[in-house]
Amino acid sequence: MSEFSLPIRVYIEDTDAGGIVYYVNYLKYFERARTEFMRALGVDRAAISDNGWMFVVSKMSLDYRQPARLDDALSVTLVAQHVGAATIDFDQTVRRDQTLLVEGSVQIACVDRDTGRPKRLDGGLRAQLIQATQQNKVTG
């Protein structure tokens, strides 16, 4: 499977009063990595298309292992595990050096922007995503 990695620095705005990353910010880090992964595939606006569709998170599961702290240099990774007709399943992590801080699985779904109903992935985009799941490594 292909792995995509995005470096992230922890800023004061990401932390609580004790200098520890507030838990919800890991979701933002995951989102940024998915967006940059799609950008690396050539999809400029990964969340919302001019063609009437958008991506939404339909499932998510996270395990928090250790906290990240102010000024940490992190690596947010993802591996596209499965591409369905209208969904993409990702495994994602946040690491500081080799230390696993957070791991999770995320499913995003393609939906019609007006109705919110599931919409099949564009054939070209789906083919790119399937190819990305089969490559050894995709880097950003």
Does the global pTM surpass 0.95? no
CATH of domain 4-134: 3.10.129.10
11-22 pLDDT tens trace? 999 999 999 999
- Give the helix ranges, DSSP H, for 14-104: 25-40
> What are the sequence ranges of the domains in the chain?
4-134
> Is 75 in contact with 140 (CB distance < 8 Å)?
no
Catalytic residue selected from 16, 63, 71, 112: 16
58-86 pLDDT tens trace? 999 999 999 999 999 999 999 999 999 99
Is 16 annotated in the active site? yes
Of 120 and 50, the one with more pLDDT: 120
CA distance 89 to 66: 24
User: Between the CA of residue 93 and those of 34, 100, 106, 140, what are the distances in Å?
Assistant: 12, 7, 11, 16
Residue 14: Cβ-neighbour burial (10 angstroms; 0-12, 13-18, 19+)? buried
